[in-house]
Structure 1
Amino acid sequence: MVSLKLAAILLIPSVIAGVVKRQDDSQILAYLDGECADALDHIVPPDVCDNRFSGNEEINSIKIPEGVVCTLYANYNCQREGPKISGPRCFELGSSADSYQCARSHVNEITHMMSFSEITFFLYWDSLYI
């Protein structure tokens, strides 16, 4: 019983680190090519409107990580909302969007918080039987 509790206590930092890492992995990678391969142009932080024609070259694809949803826009300043695309995937922009904005999906955040609270509940429940 004690070893089970010790294992659970040692697991908590790993769970916290995993949640923090997932939050860090929400950056979007913008590529000049259409396949999210070698031509990485820049990294787009979450909640930033990115114009695909902002540099000297055109952004043709974006790599969307798991738990992130991107909204495509028909104009250059993220005002005429179009379809939403969720990750994980490489999405070729083509003529479907002039700009895009991505954000972490709230559904995934709630799922991760539930996982952490389940572990906390397990520790509490286990302490009742010592």
Structure 2
Amino acid sequence: MSDFSKALTVSSSGLRAQATRLRHLSENISNADTPGYRRKTISFETMLSPRDGIAEVVPGRVRLDRAELEKIHDPSHPLADETGHYDGSNVDLLIELADAREAQRSYEANLKMFEQTRKMSSGLMELLRR
């Protein structure tokens, strides 16, 4: 396998991993007002490809944030207990937006690497044709 193919494999694994992370972040943001919703977090792991020995980034297990759920006082809510409280979510929109920005930047960096590798490969092929 050529170095260009290896670089494309590594950057595409980063693209897939960050896309998965963005999907979970968007689920967290969309469920920020859902009672009882727990924030999802995901970690990344390195996996050595058995066929070519390239280290790729893969998303790990999705975990639920075990932080305390917000107690909301609204006696008219159907989920409220006898004290008028119910469990909200543990999603902090500021944290989710910061994580989304980080994931977006990482996605863009992987995309740039992918594009540069493709351009270098095309340039090499052009030189070899001459």
Say which structure, 1 or 2, has more relative contact order (CA 8 Å, 6+ apart). 2
TM-score by length of 2: 0.42
More helix by share: 2
TM-score by length of 1: 0.42
**If you compute each CA radius of gyration, which structure gives the higher value, 1 or 2?**
2
